[in-house]
Structures are given as C-alpha cells and as structure tokens.
A = this chain, B = another copy of it.
Amino acid sequence: MREITYAQALNEAMSEEMRADKNIIFMGEDVGVYGGAFGVSRGMFEEFGPERVMDTPISELAITGCAAGASMTGLITIVEIMFSDFMTLAMEQLVNQAAKNRFQFGGQGSVPMVLRAPGGSGTGAAEQHSQSLEAWVAHVPGLKVVIPSTPYDAKGLLKTSIRDPNPVVFLEQKLLYRTKGPVPEIGDDYTIPLGKADIKREGKDVTIITYGRMVPRSLKVAEDLAKEGIDIEVVDIRSLVPLDKETLIKSAKKTGKVLVVHEACQTGGFGGELVSVVVDSDAFFYLDAPVRRLGGLDVPIPYNPNLEAQVVPTEEKITAAVKDLL
C-alpha cells in the first residue's frame, strides 16, 4: 500500500468527503491559501474555492457557533481550531450549544459538525500551545471525541466523523502530522467506525491502553521489551467517546496487568476513566497487579526542549512502568 503522512490522510478525508457532498463546508483561521498552521488543508482552497474553504477572523467562539448554526440548518461543517488550547475560547458554543441543542430542543434538529484541533507538546510552542485537553470534551454528553494515531486511522476516522450526525471533536496530534503510514489509494472509500478500539499489537503479559501519539511510543517500547521476552498488548482506543469498553476489558482479563498511558496531565486525565472502566468490570477479578496510570506530569508544558520532552511519558518511563507491573 502507498504511504502518506497523517496530515495528508486528513487532507484526503476532507477533500474526498467534500467532493462527494456539496453540503460540506470547511472554515478556520488561515485554512485557505495558507493551508492551515500545520498545512493540513493545503490545496483545498484552490480546489473548493472561497465559498467552501473559508478563512475566518480570529474569533474562536464565533466560528465554532457559526459552524454549529450552519450544521443545525442543513450544512455539514468542519471547523479547524488552530491549536486545541484555543478551544478554551470556544467551550461555551461547543458545550452549551452544539452538544446540547438536540437534547434540549427535544430532538429537533441535529448538529453534524466536526471540530478539528491539534493537541500535544513537542514543538517548542510552550504552555499555551501544547496542552492535551481531550478529558474536558470527553466529559460532555452530546459530543463524540476521536484521537487517531496513524495515517490510516486518521483518514478512516475523519471520514466517519464527517458523516456522523453529531458534533465530533477530532483531536489531531501535532507530532504525528509528518509521520507516514500505509493508506489505501485516493477514492478507495474506507471508513472506521467510532467506538471500535484497535489492538495495535497483540501480547499476553501486559496490556497498555493508550491513544494518540503515545501509541507509536508504546509500540516502540513493546518491540524493545519483546527482546527481553516481555509480550505487551497495545490497545489504541481511537475514540474516547464512544468508548469500546469490551475490547479494553477483554484485554485486561487476558493479561491481568494493565498500564494506561496518555500525554495529558495525569491528574484528572482520561486515564482515570479508562482505569475505572477496567476495575469496575469483572476484569477486576483477573487483575494480579494494581492498574497503573502513566500520564504527563502535572505541570504546564515548558519551552525548553529537554524539559518539554521529559514532562510527558517517555519510552524510559513507559518501560519502567511496565516492568513495575511484572
């Protein structure tokens, strides 16, 4: 299969869906000629024109609400927030309006929109451009939350998200944009259902439950530890909401040892939900060690590259945590 980048995969997902459906529009800050801060939408303005690929003023609250309003009335809107940190400015429209409208209006209307935003550290952009805020949106009924870890998943999950009749918060990973992976040919229309975890590596000794950029990192650790005879199963949840509890529980029962890994600050992170899902299930009786969490340190993301690299789970830390479980 051909190999393309995560960014290219996202571009193809949007472009293919927009070719197929004239009701889909795309808006965001500098998504037009500039192609988006991370180049994800390069070429789309040229192909679809200013009516469908719209550069917006720097107004996160209004463009999120604008997307919700357009989607409530018949369009399908993709809105890009340049950095997920700036969702902090859009939470009112996302949480009180987009997420709740269908419910609070007694089922009138729906809000088929996708809010795309890149999260994560590692680019030297520091405290206000590097947060991982998925736990916030995963706590809001009415929203779906997706975080892909490979180009293949990125394309398949984004297509599904665009076709979903609900607001979907699609959190991309800055450090994965340039990573390459196998993806079917353009136009070869495949999708990946939300709520279906993917076992990225089968193993029998320990289960690592993770998502986003911690997936490739966990896989790397798994390969290294395989040499030491430690057989790790890496489960990529892919969507936080809906969450594929069955797959997590099944894997936990199989290995009896679970490590949850994510980049977001550990305290209050989504890891707590994942741990709870496991220990509040019959898997509890199969566990022969405490369920471990390994999240980012509870500090803002610092600027200095060495510091920045060490406040999130490193291969070393993941390796140590795994060995700790054995």
Instruction: Determine if A34 is an interface residue (Cβ-Cβ < 8 Å).
Output: no
Contacts of A85 in B (CB 8 A): 96
Beyond A268-B270, A280-B293, A290-B279, whether A141 also contacts B100 by CB under 8 A is no
Complex Cα distance A92/B88, Å? 5
Report yes or no: B104 in contact with A141, Cβ–Cβ below 8 A.
no
Instruction: Determine if A221 is an interface residue (Cβ-Cβ < 8 Å).
Output: no
Beyond A92-B88, A298-B141, A299-B141, whether A280 also contacts B268 by CB under 8 A is no
Contacts of A99 in B (CB 8 A): 300
Complex Cα distance A293/B274, Å? 12
Complex Cα distance A285/B287, Å? 10
Beyond A96-B88, A127-B100, whether A275 also contacts B279 by CB under 8 A is yes
Contacts of A243 in B (CB 8 A): 267
* A242-286 interface with B by 8 A CB criterion: 243, 264-265, 267-276, 279-282, 284-285
Question: Across the two chains, which residue of chain B brings its CB closest to A241?
Answer: B267
* A110-143 interface with B by 8 A CB criterion: 126-128, 133, 135-136, 138-142
Complex Cα distance A90/B273, Å? 25
Beyond A103-B127, A141-B298, A298-B141, whether A271 also contacts B265 by CB under 8 A is no
* A284-326 interface with B by 8 A CB criterion: 284-285, 289-293, 298-300, 302
Contacts of A127 in B (CB 8 A): 96, 100, 103-104
Beyond A86-B92, A272-B273, A279-B290, whether A128 also contacts B100 by CB under 8 A is yes
Instruction: Determine if A89 is an interface residue (Cβ-Cβ < 8 Å).
Output: yes
Report yes or no: A103 in contact with B141, Cβ–Cβ below 8 A.
no
* Shortest beta-carbon distance from A93 to chain B in Å: 8
Question: Across the two chains, which residue of chain B brings its CB closest to A275?
Answer: B276
Instruction: Determine if A225 is an interface residue (Cβ-Cβ < 8 Å).
Output: no
Instruction: Determine if A91 is an interface residue (Cβ-Cβ < 8 Å).
Output: yes
Report yes or no: A265 in contact with B89, Cβ–Cβ below 8 A.
no
Complex Cα distance A76/B236, Å? 45
Interface residues of A (CB under 8 A from B): 61, 85-86, 88-89, 91-92, 94-96, 99-100, 103-104, 126-128, 133, 135-136, 138-142, 240-241, 243, 264-265, 267-276, 279-282, 284-285, 289-293, 298-300, 302
| A-B CB contact pairs (8 Å), 23 listed | A85-B96, A88-B92, A88-B95, A89-B92, A100-B300, A103-B127, A103-B302, A104-B126, A136-B136, A139-B267, A139-B268, A141-B265, A141-B299, A267-B273, A268-B273, A271-B272, A271-B276, A272-B272, A275-B280, A279-B279, A280-B291, A280-B293, A281-B290
